[in-house]
Structure 1
Amino acid sequence: MWPGRAASARPVAPAPQRRIGPYTRVQWAGAVVVGGLALVYAAAMAVLAVRWLVSVDPLRGFLATYPGEYPLPVGAPVGIPAWLGWQHFFNVFLMVLIIRSGLRVRTEKRPTEFWMPRRDRKGKISLALWFHQALDVLWLVNGFVFVVLLFATGQWMRIVPTSWEVFPNALSAVLQYVSLDWPTENGWVNYNSLQQLAYCTTVFVAAPLAAVTGYRMSGLWPRNVPALNRAYPVEWARALHFPVMVYFVAFIVVHVTLVFATGALRNLNHMYGGQDAVNWTGFWIFIASMIVVAAGWVAARPLLIAPIARLFGTVSGR
């Protein structure tokens, strides 16, 4: 007898779910939701704990003694000059593209476009890596000009600590931020001590670290000097370079959040409008600059990068 159609049918195995790293999309979504709720709960507990702490007499006295900032040296400049606004824009523009290209280099498994110097056939690298290194060079030039102007105009006194009081005042600023009773924002005259330490660390610690680790991993590093390679192994550079990028991303997120949360119009006027006023001038300049940054992000593709790369070498496919 014919056993029927069902007897010869084979059960169809479900298609494997696509994974992003170690987890599926559903698992990532669940992790984000659970992690977000945990962060909100931890933040709420921290706010309640710090608000109780600052209500205790010793902490109230500490905040009164160290309000979050200390006086700048005599002769420190007031305000933000136009050159600093332009430097800020160039830095933002280049940093965004550096992060974008760096992530592509890190995740690119099999490059399809390559760049090679005309005089060194052994220096072949992926087009994405060439673009990342070219942006790094422009960023270093912009940073060099920034540091020179910083010390030539006295603006360094606004971001480099000039008193040991910076540390207790920075702690005071942290307590005020966490308690949601934020310190008075007056960046046109004087940054609070936490801002000063953050800016100083970014300019004089994180930026040089990004430069020296990036240079060690680049094709510009001398390969035929064993003693130098042993003194500064490439593994050290790789171990530091990515965390430095993470620091820059975290700094940008916190910095932009506080700019908007502590008086957006006035803060944007400081950096983009060159004035200490509450109007929409700086805001619209900021929006225009973000459009330029977004256009650069979209344009950073091999189709547009390749013609530029050909000016400095040879571009080829796989």
Structure 2
Amino acid sequence: MGLGFPLWIVATHYLNILFLVFLARSGIQILTAFPFFYKNDHCEPGKEMFKFTRRKVPRDRLTQSLDWELDAPPWLALPGHKGIGIGRHWHFLAMMGWVLTGLVYIVLLLVTDQWRRLVPTTWEVFPQALQAATTYLHFQIPPPAPGLPFNALQQLAYFTVVFLLAPLQIATGAAMSPAIMARAPWYPSLFGGKQVARTLHFFGLLAFTAFVLVHTLMVVVHGIPEEWTRIVLGPATGVNPAAVAVGLAGLLVILIANLAAHALAKRSPRLAQQLLAPPSDVLQRELSYHLHSRQHYPRSDISPYHWINGYPPPDQDYEELAKRQFEGYRLLITGRVETPLSLSLADLRRIGYESQIVKHNCIQGWSGIAEWSGVPLAKFIEHCHPTPEARYVVFHGFDDKAKTQPETGGVGRFYETLDLRLAVSPQTMLAWEMNGEPLPIPHGAPLRLRVETQLGFKMVKWIQSIEFVDDFRSIGLGHGGWREDYAMHSRVVGI
């Protein structure tokens, strides 16, 4: 007797559809934030392998990566438009559900005889699969393989998706994590670098899409009523109207879930952030807080072009400082410290000075390698003598986002927070030099933050002051940073 379809296969089948749809739509949302694909991690404009825009990045004027974010249609992307913050929340939540479903499926597959439905046990599967393909090309339906509910070609396709394609998607996703990349720079190099891993991840999305389309076509070819009866009722034969109704109900639930997800993001993005962020934040915090950066790239790896995200502050005080090449700049340190401080760049240099060549990773997807020099944040914090109540470090910038990014509807100067235990991790620093030269204004002069296990928006540029606090919820709108407040990003971004 051939293998039937136990209830757990039916349940995981529908859960996989649900999570894959959410992963695909939110993944498209993330990809449209930076629609360029490169063969190396320098992301130099004009040297893309391919891109989803006809516009060219000018080299004769200042431009930021946000200028190239596409407006994704909501029917395709989740949540649509320029919603990378909510898109990432959906992506990571769906990823956790998909991986958990996959693990349950694999375990149950291996502890029962159901593994035989996916794992070929003879090399004869290859000529049999070829024969099945030939039969399809002649517009005929090949018979099932002996002891299986489907033919050899289908078995090979399912084996490839479950045991090759799915692990590859997980592996390439991990290769784009700044925390993993910082702790183990060798890992993304297994794929040719982060940008190649990103491209492979995109091709994996296309492969899953093609599989779903062909799989659906095969269900239609073999007969929808008969196939749904077999899937829902197991080895039953014939057509059962109840089984068809259950199949349609499952697809209807998936459709309603997608409509509800879009409605939630559109009508109450803050509620979406509050509901979706906690599970993935826990995962990212446990990952990134324990993985310390160990990057040491050679100078020959420094990128010829380094993107920026955010335009320099149109602040009068800042512009006056820039005209004087930041002579007279003072960094103010307040909050939970024994004594408030006002430090010059020379004072900071006396506290400590180190250089590091590391890879920058933006939330949009681009990367770049540069040398940063400044004071390790651990030494700086030690010099500031925070009180025992201090748990977070708040970095305030000169940048008034109501002027530099008015389309977001956000107000106030840019700020970000770091947990104190993350702030003292290796290679976290306050930098005032880039590639051996004074820090350029577009990259954050006179002082910027570097946190190599987190995404780039956490690394505040144009720092005006630093504040030690016991709770970040009283700062701004209380979500831990300007982009967390107005773009619905996560506060912890090690992935």
TM-score range, shorter chain: 0.5 to 0.7
How far apart are residue 298 of structure 1 and its match?
Answer: 1.2
Question: Distance between the aligned counterparts of 1:188 and 1:300, measured in 2?
Answer: 41
Question: Distance between the aligned counterparts of 1:177 and 1:230, measured in 2?
Answer: 40
1:307 matches 2:232:
no
Q: Determine helix, strand or coil for the equivalent of 1:126.
A: helix
CA distance 1:215–1:229, change in 2 (3 Å): closer
Q: Which residue of 2 aligns with 1:291?
A: 252
How far apart are residue 190 of structure 1 and its match?
Answer: 3.3
Which of 226, 229, 242 matches 1:269? 229
**Partner amino acid, structure 2, of 1:251:** F
Q: CA RMSD in A?
A: 2.4
Which of 14, 21, 28 matches 1:89? 14
Question: Distance between the aligned counterparts of 2:178 and 2:15, measured in 1?
Answer: 25
Alpha-carbon deviations, 1:107-140, whole Å to 9, x = none? 13658xxxxxxxxxxxxx8231232122112111
Q: Which residue of 2 aligns with 1:78?
A: 3
Aligned 8 A contact 2:172 2:200 in 1: yes
**Partner amino acid, structure 2, of 1:297:** N
- Kindly tell me the number of residue pairs found equivalent between the two proteins: 230
Q: TM-score by structure 1 length? A: 0.66
Task: Please state which structure has a larger fraction of its residues in helix.
Answer: 1
Q: Which residue of 1 aligns with 2:132?
A: 173
Which of 109, 130, 150 matches 1:150? 109
Aligned 8 A contact 2:93 2:276 in 1: no
Question: Distance between the aligned counterparts of 2:188 and 2:138, measured in 1?
Answer: 48
Question: Distance between the aligned counterparts of 1:188 and 1:96, measured in 2?
Answer: 31
Q: Which residue of 1 aligns with 2:202?
A: 242
**Partner amino acid, structure 2, of 1:271:** I
Q: Determine helix, strand or coil for the equivalent of 2:248.
A: helix
Aligned 8 A contact 1:77 1:154 in 2: no
How far apart are residue 292 of structure 1 and its match?
Answer: 0.9
Task: Please state which structure has a larger fraction of its residues in strand.
Answer: 2
Q: Determine helix, strand or coil for the equivalent of 1:160.
A: coil
How far apart are residue 279 of structure 1 and its match?
Answer: 1.6
Q: TM-score by structure 2 length? A: 0.43
Question: Distance between the aligned counterparts of 1:127 and 1:220, measured in 2?
Answer: 21
How far apart are residue 149 of structure 1 and its match?
Answer: 0.4
How far apart are residue 159 of structure 1 and its match?
Answer: 1.2
Structure 1 residue ranges (4+ consecutive) displaced by more than 6 angstroms after TM superposition: none
5+ residue gaps, structure 1, are 1-75, 112-124
Question: Distance between the aligned counterparts of 1:310 and 1:229, measured in 2?
Answer: 26
1:317 matches 2:486:
yes
How far apart are residue 224 of structure 1 and its match?
Answer: 4.0
How far apart are residue 229 of structure 1 and its match?
Answer: 4.8
Identity in percent: 32
Question: Distance between the aligned counterparts of 2:149 and 2:97, measured in 1?
Answer: 30
1:203-282 mapped onto 2 (5 Å cutoff): 203-218=162-177, 221-232=180-191, 233-277=193-237, 278-282=239-243
Q: RCO greater where, 1 or 2, for CA within 8 Å and sep 6 or more?
A: 1
Alpha-carbon deviations, 1:256-282, whole Å to 9, x = none? 111122121121112223342222222
Question: Distance between the aligned counterparts of 1:229 and 1:217, measured in 2?
Answer: 7
